[in-house]
């Protein structure tokens, strides 16, 4: 933008300068020419009174010596009767004869200058011709210097316009850059960012609108966080009741499993409240996907054994660091495994695989169930064909995309659904 403004100013001012500079240069040249011819006419006319009074050679030479051109050997007088020339002449006989026949002032161009011829009719010698010679350098005296001056003025005007355009462009670019930086910061989660309302009026209005939008988004997200925290807090009461009821179950594997599930649910609610209160700031410390897979399969394996589901895990023996918070990765994996237990019959086999690549880690969950009839609907947030909230796959998708990865759903080798969570590797 700044460069474009400078180029436009440079082109426009250059064209305007040339439009005035060329005619002015011609005017200056013509003015110098007219001034030199005018001076020659003045020098020639200065001899007329002396020639009218006397045509004697001595008187003519004396009159010529009193003039500027006469002392510079640039003045001559041509007498017809008796024929003779006094002074220094720069014309030919043909030029002289032509000037007598013309009977009015004229000029004769020579390689080294111009001769101004002034005819004068006298009673004694017929038509006398006064010749005033103007050398070439006199015809262009001061022209080159004036041209350089005009060129300097033109360059100064162009440079000034370019400077002004550059300053205006810099002002606009600076305001635009501040807007871009503010938008980037806001996109990265900094809701406190505001931009100075400066620059051209239009950009100042945009800055004002951006600040109003940022303030509105901050209030809306703050209100949403409060609602999430309040709703999560309201779950504490039924969770406490469940925990008390679980204590009445006595001892045994089943009772321990119920108590562990309730306690895990209580921890998840605490995490939700903590995340909501902290402004949902992202955790950039990362997590080991292999460790998360091992830990969650310890939890889900108990339920799989109860339902007689064969299961396998592969690739979880090597570290797989990913730029995702452990809680978010846990929630995504639980959503995928929960779908397996929710939508496939008991006894259906499932497998969890970690695929290690140079720049990404693929977390694959597949089963031998009936598969997903409408994949496009399944990955839409809030859409479900099984009566659930329809958020499981969307949670996994957003977790993958937050790392720069993606979610892919298709049919796997086991015959059922296969969900691939592709995560960027740390």
CATH number, domain with residue 313: 3.30.565.10
Task: Please state, in angstroms and rounded to a whole number, the distance separating the CA atoms of residues 299 and 287.
Answer: 18
Please state whether the predicted TM-score (pTM) of the whole model is above 0.85.
Answer: no
Tell me which of 90, 112, 144 is where a domain ends: 144
Could you give the 3-state DSSP secondary structure of residue 400?
A: helix
- The answer to the question of residue 177 being in a domain is no
Question: In the prediction, which pLDDT does 382 show?
Answer: 47
> What one-character DSSP code corresponds to residue 219?
H
Structure tokens at 354: 């970690």
Looking at 79, 114, 144, the residue that finishes a domain is 144
Query: Domain of 104: which CATH number?
Result: 3.30.450.20
- Would you say residue 119 lies in a domain? yes
pLDDT of residue 278: 61
Question: Is residue 272 included in any domain, yes or no?
Answer: no
Report which of 93, 119, 122, 90 is spatially closest to residue 106, judged by C-alpha positions: 119
pLDDT of the residue at 356: 94
Range of the structural domain that residue 393 is part of: 282-294+304-424
Spatial distance between the Cα atoms of 334 and 332, rounded to a whole number of angstroms? 5
Does any domain span residue 7? yes
- Identify the sign of the CA torsion 31, 36, 37, 43: positive
Sheet holding 113-122, edge to edge: 84-87, 75-79, 126-135, 113-122, 106-110
How high is the pLDDT of residue 15?
A: 84
Whether residue 260 is contained in a domain is answered as no
Q: In residues, how long is the chain?
A: 426
Token couple for 82: 């008796």
Of the three residues 84, 115, 144, the one that is the final residue of a domain is: 144
- How far apart, in Å, do the first and last CA atoms of the chain sit? 38
Phi-psi region of 264 (alpha: psi -120 to 50; beta: other; left: phi over 0): alpha
Question: Is 135 domain-assigned?
Answer: yes
117 domain-assigned: yes
Q: Are 255 and 246 in contact (CB under 8 A)?
A: yes
Residue 387, pLDDT score: 46
Strand order in 406-411's β-sheet?
Answer: 311-314, 350-356, 360-367, 417-424, 406-411
How many domains does the chain contain in total?
2
Q: What is the pLDDT along the chain (426 residues), one digit of tens a residue?
A: 677 777 877 888 888 888 888 888 888 888 888 889 898 999 888 888 888 887 788 888 888 888 888 888 888 998 877 778 888 888 888 888 888 888 789 999 888 899 999 998 876 667 888 999 999 888 888 888 888 888 888 888 888 888 888 877 777 777 888 888 888 888 877 878 888 888 778 878 888 898 889 888 888 877 777 776 666 666 766 766 776 677 777 777 777 777 777 777 777 777 766 666 565 455 556 899 999 999 999 888 888 988 899 999 999 999 999 999 888 898 899 889 988 998 899 999 999 999 999 899 999 999 999 888 766 666 665 445 544 445 678 888 888 998 889 999 999 999 999 999 999 998
CB 313 within 8 A of CB 373: no
Q: What are 121's strand-pairing partners?
A: 127
Q: In the prediction, which pLDDT does 24 show? A: 86
Give the pLDDT score at 388: 45
Is residue 273, in this structure, part of any structural domain at all? no
């Amino acid at each position: 933008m700044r460069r474009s403004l400078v180029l436009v100013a440079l082109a426009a001012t250059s064209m305007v300068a040339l439009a005035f500079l060329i005619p002015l240069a011609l005017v200056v040249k013509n003015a110098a020419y007219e001034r030199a011819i005018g001076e020659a006419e003045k020098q020639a006319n200065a001899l007329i009174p002396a020639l009218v009074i006397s045509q004697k050679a001595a008187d003519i030479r004396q009159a010529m010596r009193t003039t500027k051109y006469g002392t510079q050997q640039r003045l001559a007088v041509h007498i017809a009767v008796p024929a003779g020339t006094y002074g220094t002449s720069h014309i030919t006989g043909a030029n002289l004869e032509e000037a007598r026949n013309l009977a009015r002032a004229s000029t004769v161009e020579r390689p080294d200058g111009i001769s101004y011829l002034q005819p004068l009719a006298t009673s004694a010698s017929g038509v006398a011709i006064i010749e005033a010679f103007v050398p070439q350098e006199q015809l262009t005296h001061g022209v080159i210097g004036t041209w350089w001056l005009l060129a300097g003025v033109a360059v100064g005007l162009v440079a000034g316009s370019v400077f002004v355009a550059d300053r205006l462009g810099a002002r606009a670019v600076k305001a635009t850059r501040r807007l871009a930086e503010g938008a980037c910061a806001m996109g990265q989660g900094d809701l406190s960012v505001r931009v100075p309302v400066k620059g051209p009026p239009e950009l100042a209005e945009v800055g004002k609108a951006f600040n109003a939008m940022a303030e509105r988004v901050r209030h809306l997200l703050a209100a949403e966080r409060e609602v999430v925290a309040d709703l999560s807090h309201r779950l504490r009461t039924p969770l406490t009741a469940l925990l008390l009821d679980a204590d009445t179950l006595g001892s045994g594997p089943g009772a321990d499993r119920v108590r562990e599930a309730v306690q895990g649910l209580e921890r998840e609610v605490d995490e939700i409240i903590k995340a909501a209160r902290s402004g949902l700031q992202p955790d950039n410390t990362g997590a080991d996907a292999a460790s998360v897979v091992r830990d969650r399969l310890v939890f889900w394996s108990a339920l799989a054994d109860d339902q007689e589901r064969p299961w396998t895990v592969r690739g979880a023996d090597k570290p797989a660091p990913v730029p995702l918070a452990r809680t978010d990765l846990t929630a995504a994996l639980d959503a995928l495994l929960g779908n397996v237990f929710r939508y496939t019959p008991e006894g259906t086999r499932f497998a969890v695989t970690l695929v290690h690549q140079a720049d990404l880690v693929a977390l694959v969950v597949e089963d031998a169930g009936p598969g997903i009839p409408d994949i496009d609907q399944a990955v839409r947030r809030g859409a479900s064909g099984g009566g659930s909230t329809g958020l499981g796959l969307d949670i996994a998708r957003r977790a993958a995309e937050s790392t720069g990865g993606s979610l892919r759903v298709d049919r796997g080798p086991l015959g059922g659904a296969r969900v691939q969570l592709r995560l960027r590797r740390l």
